[in-house]
């Protein structure tokens, strides 16, 4: 049985999704590891210890262990993590030696992890597969004022040059890697992420709205972290400009339950825009509880300036909810314009408001788009994603075996 080491320094698969610096990548790492384990691959998933109550080793699923490595303060801010990567690297090596186990492949997630994996791949002499999730050069171009360090970009270039395989979510990300990072065509493989089709599925909107206390309100939904690049400010301005405002509710799911200065900023903005009666800041929700929000929503809105894929859009579609999203990154691939929702080409409140009003006024159109959204999502379960990723692993193992034999 093959054994792999997955490195996800700051994206712990057990972290609470929706808090600061914790989002779709944690879901991706969690679900991919679980399904690789179901395919018979042993997975040790190394992540930074972020909670003193967490055991050093936790079983995540069949053949899958999460290994917490102590590297820096438990609550260290994301921008301080690079200074602890050497400590993290040493911790991974100590664990490997204590277990006396050998790995057949490394899979790193995000540039922090890729930096560590570069060293491990050399030490262990095994293939390195990298998944970036977000790229600094794209984020820099996505939104004016978005700050990304030259150090991060330099490390990303090194990972692109050294990794044996790079797995990306969309063709758009592949072309960006080729154009901005000069990645060779044959090194980059497109494997779309998946969605848990059993948990994220259509349900009674009436029951979901009643459960959330929405009554007959026309409901918009935003799910995501409180970061400027997620575009929530655009959505708040869009809501403020809409007609028949009194019957509209915008649910904002995400953030640290009032302990996030960005959330305070958006609350103050809603007061300034005079829409406090329309906007409900609900804080973080457990990932397994999100389906009721998608089912209750008439429309899910994803106004991001950049998304490498857009897991929120896919989860909403799996629940049969149409999506209005910005025409950026992977959202262009996920949302089928005029079929499963709308893609808005400008980060302009009026453009978003226009599309939202069209859908809210037309129940038949919403239901039609919702049904088509579910059909699209049904072809994107995590088992399919894991099989395609494992196929990429197998190609590298066959190549390594051929070299060893000759």
pLDDT digits (tens, 9 = 90+) for 178-225: 999 999 999 999 999 999 999 999 999 999 999 999 987 899 999 998
Residue showing tokens 């991060």: 152
In this structure, is the dihedral angle defined by the CA atoms of residues 194, 199, 203 and 206, taken in order, positive or negative?
Answer: negative
- Of these ranges, 51-65, 205-219, 364-378, the one predicted with the greatest mean pLDDT is 364-378
Name the nearest CA neighbour of 114 among 9, 251, 242, 257: 9
Mean pLDDT of 319-348: 95
Q: Where in the chain is the domain with CATH 3.40.50.2000?
A: 3-194+381-405, 205-377
Q: What is the CATH number of domain 3-194+381-405?
A: 3.40.50.2000
Give the per-residue pLDDT at 145. 64
Please name the helix (run of DSSP H) or strand (run of DSSP E) that holds residue 57, with its range, or none: strand 57-61
Give the per-residue pLDDT at 179. 95
Which position has the higher pLDDT, 302 or 24?
A: 302
Alpha carbons 406 and 404: distance in angstroms, whole number: 6
Mean pLDDT of 148-168: 95
Model pTM? 0.90
Phi, psi of 77 (to 5 degrees): -65, 155
Give the per-residue pLDDT at 404. 65
And the tokens for 144?
């004016």
pLDDT band at 281 (very low <50, low <70, confident <90, very high): very high
Q: What is the mean pLDDT of the chain?
A: 92
b/e per residue, 32-71, with b = 16+ CB within 10 A? bbbbbbebebbbbbbbbbbeeebeeeeebbebbbbbbbeb
Give the per-residue pLDDT at 147. 75
Cβ–Cβ < 8 Å for 3, 100: no
The domain made up of 205-377 is a member of CATH 3.40.630.10: no
Name the nearest CA neighbour of 324 among 302, 308, 309: 302
Cβ–Cβ < 8 Å for 221, 301: yes
What 3-state DSSP class applies to 225?
coil
% pLDDT > 70, the chain = 94
| 57-61: strand order across its sheet | 57-61, 64-69, 42-48, 3-7, 105-109, 128-131, 165-168, 188-190
Q: At residue 403, does pLDDT exceed 80?
A: no
Alpha carbons 5 and 119: distance in angstroms, whole number: 13
Please name the helix (run of DSSP H) or strand (run of DSSP E) that holds residue 95, with its range, or none: helix 85-99
Residue 59: which residues within 8 A CB-CB, separation 6 or more?
Answer: 65, 66
pLDDT band at 17 (very low <50, low <70, confident <90, very high): low
Q: At residue 259, does pLDDT exceed 60?
A: no
Across 234-277, the runs of DSSP E, i.e. the strands, are 248-253
Alpha carbons 136 and 57: distance in angstroms, whole number: 32
Please name the helix (run of DSSP H) or strand (run of DSSP E) that holds residue 214, with its range, or none: none
Q: At residue 12, does pLDDT exceed 90?
A: no
Q: At residue 258, does pLDDT exceed 60?
A: no
Alpha carbons 295 and 317: distance in angstroms, whole number: 10
List the end-to-end C-alpha distance of the chain, in Å, as a whole number.
23
Q: What is the DSSP string of 368-391?
A: HHHHHHHHHHTT-BHHHHHHHHHH
Mean pLDDT of 79-86: 94
% pLDDT > 90, the chain = 77
Alpha carbons 126 and 257: distance in angstroms, whole number: 42
Q: What size, in residues, is the chain?
A: 406
Of the listed ranges 110-114, 142-146, 154-158, 357-361, the least confidently predicted one is: 142-146
3-state DSSP helix/strand/coil % of the chain, to nearest 5: 50, 15, 35
Alpha carbons 102 and 89: distance in angstroms, whole number: 16
- Of these ranges, 224-233, 260-269, 314-323, the one predicted with the greatest mean pLDDT is 314-323
Give the per-residue pLDDT at 50. 85
Of the listed ranges 67-76, 145-154, 162-171, 387-396, the least confidently predicted one is: 145-154
Please name the helix (run of DSSP H) or strand (run of DSSP E) that holds residue 331, with its range, or none: helix 331-334
Mean pLDDT of 40-49: 97
């Amino acid at each position: 049985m093959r054994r792999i080491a997955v490195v996800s320094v700051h994206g712990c698969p057990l972290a609470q999704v929706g808090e600061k610096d914790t989002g779709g990548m944690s879901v991706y790492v969690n679900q991919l590891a679980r399904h690789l384990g179901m395919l018979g691959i042993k997975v040790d998933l190394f992540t930074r210890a972020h909670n003193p109550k967490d055991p050093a080793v936790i079983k995540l699923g069949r053949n899958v262990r999460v290994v917490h490595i102590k590297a820096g303060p438990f609550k260290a801010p994301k921008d301080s993590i690079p200074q602890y990567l050497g400590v993290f690297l040493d911790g991974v090596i100590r664990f490997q030696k204590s277990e006396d186990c050998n790995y057949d492949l490394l899979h790193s997630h995000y540039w922090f992890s890729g930096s560590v994996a570069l060293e491990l791949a050399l030490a262990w002499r095994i293939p390195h597969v990298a998944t970036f999730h977000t790229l600094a050069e794209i984020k820099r171009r996505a939104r004016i004022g978005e700050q990304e360090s030259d150090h991060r970009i330099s490390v990303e270039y090194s990972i692109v040059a050294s990794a044996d395989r790079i797995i990306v979510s969309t063709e758009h990300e592949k072309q960006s890697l080729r154009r901005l990072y000069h990645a060779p065509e044959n090194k980059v493989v497109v494997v779309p992420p998946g969605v848990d089709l059993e948990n994220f599925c259509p349900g009674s909107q009436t029951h979901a709205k009643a459960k959330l206390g929405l009554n007959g309100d026309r409901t918009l939904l935003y799910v995501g972290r409180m970061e400027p690049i997620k575009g929530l400010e655009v959505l708040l301005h869009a809501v403020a400009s809409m007609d028949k405002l009194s019957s509209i509710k915008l649910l904002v799911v995400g953030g640290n339950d009032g302990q996030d200065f960005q959330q305070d900023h958006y609350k103050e903005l809603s007061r300034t825009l005079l829409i406090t009666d329309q906007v409900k800041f609900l804080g973080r929700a457990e990932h397994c509880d999100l389906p009721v929000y998608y089912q209750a929503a008439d429309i899910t809105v994803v106004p991001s300036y950049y998304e490498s894929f857009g897991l929120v859009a896919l989860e909403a579609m799996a629940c049969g909810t149409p999506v209005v999203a910005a025409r950026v990154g992977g959202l262009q691939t996920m949302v089928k314009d005029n079929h499963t929702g709308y893609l808005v080409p400008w980060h302009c409140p009026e453009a978003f408001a226009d599309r939202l009003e069209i859908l809210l006024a037309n129940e038949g159109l919403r239901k039609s788009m919702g049904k088509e959204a579910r059909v699209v999502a049904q072809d994107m379960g995590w088992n399919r994603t894991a099989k395609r990723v494992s196929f990429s692993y197998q190609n590298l193992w066959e190549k390594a075996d051929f070299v060893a034999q000759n």
